[in-house]
A = this chain, B = another copy of it.
Amino acid sequence: MTTERGGYAKGDRRRADIVAAAFDAFAGNGFRHASMVQIAAACGVSRAGLAHHFPSKETLLAAVLAERDRQNDARFFAGADPSRDGFDYLARLVRAVEHNATQRGIVSLFAVLSTEASDPEHPAHATFAARYDGLRRDLRDAFGELDRRGLLRDTVAVAGLESEVIALIDGLQVQWLLDERSVDMGERLRHRLGEIVRVPLP
C-alpha cells in the first residue's frame, strides 16, 4: 500500500510538472505553436511518459486551464462569497481583470478556447458551458446582494446584468489581444461597474 501511495504521489508530481511546463509553453508561444516535444523536454519526461499522462495536446490544455482557474481562485477569490458580499466580489473581479493585463499568453489561450469550445463536439464544450453558468450565477448573486443593500444606482435593471458584465470582460480581451494600446481592460470594467454601483470600488 505504501508503494502504491508512493507511486500515485510520484505520478501526481510528474503530472504537476508537466502541467507547469505546458502552462509556460502555452502562455509564451500560444497553444498552436507550443510543441509536445518541447514541453516533454522542459520537464524532463520522455515523449512516451508525456503521452501516458496526456494523450493529446488538447487534454494537456484542459489541465492547464483547470490549473489556471485554480490559481486565479486561490489568488483572487479565496473566501469570496458573492451572495454574502457582492461589493467584495466585484472588487476581486476587477483585480483579476487587471492582473489579466499582465498575462497575455494565458488570456489568449482562454479567449481562443472559449470560442472554439462553442462547438458542442469540442472536448472542452461542457467545461466551458459550465464555467459560464457559474460565472453568471456568481455575478447574479453579487448584483442581487448589492441590490438588497441599496447599493445599485436607481437606473440599473438587474435582470441580465450578469451576462452584460461577463460579455464586457470577454469582449475587451478580444480588442486588447489584437492591440494592447487600444483599450485598458481594468479601467473600462471599473468605469462600467461605477455606473452600476453607487460606491466606488477600491
| A→B interface (CB under 8 Å) | 30, 32, 108, 111-112, 114-119, 125, 128-129, 132-133, 136, 155, 157, 160, 163-164, 166-172, 174-175, 177-179, 182-183, 187-188, 191-192, 195
Q: Which of B108, B119, B191, B195 contacts A108 (CB 8 A)?
A: B119
Q: Which of B108, B132, B175 contacts A178 (CB 8 A)?
A: B132
Contact: A182 with B108, CB < 8 Å? no
Residues of chain B within 8 A (CB-CB) of A169 are: 171
Contact: A171 with B178, CB < 8 Å? no
Instruction: Report the separation of the CA atoms of residues A167 and B160 in the bound assembly, to the nearest whole angstrom.
Output: 16
Q: Which of B112, B129, B163, B171 contacts A183 (CB 8 A)?
A: B163
* 25 residue pairs bridging A and B, Cβ less than 8 Å apart: A32-B119, A112-B116, A114-B174, A114-B178, A115-B115, A115-B174, A125-B178, A129-B179, A132-B174, A136-B175, A155-B195, A157-B191, A160-B188, A160-B191, A163-B172, A163-B182, A163-B183, A164-B168, A166-B171, A166-B175, A167-B168, A167-B174, A170-B174, A170-B175, A171-B172
Instruction: Report the separation of the CA atoms of residues A179 and B135 in the bound assembly, to the nearest whole angstrom.
Output: 14
Interface centre among A32, A136, A163 (most CB of B within 10 A): A163
Task: Tell me the nearest residue of chain B to A187, going by C-beta.
Answer: B160
| This chain: copies in complex | 2
Q: How far is the CB of A106 from chain B (nearest CB, A)?
A: 13
Instruction: Report the separation of the CA atoms of residues A108 and B118 in the bound assembly, to the nearest whole angstrom.
Output: 8
Contact: B182 with A167, CB < 8 Å? no
Given the known interface contacts A111-B118, A119-B30, A155-B155, the answer about A164 and B188 at a Cβ–Cβ threshold of 8 Å is: yes
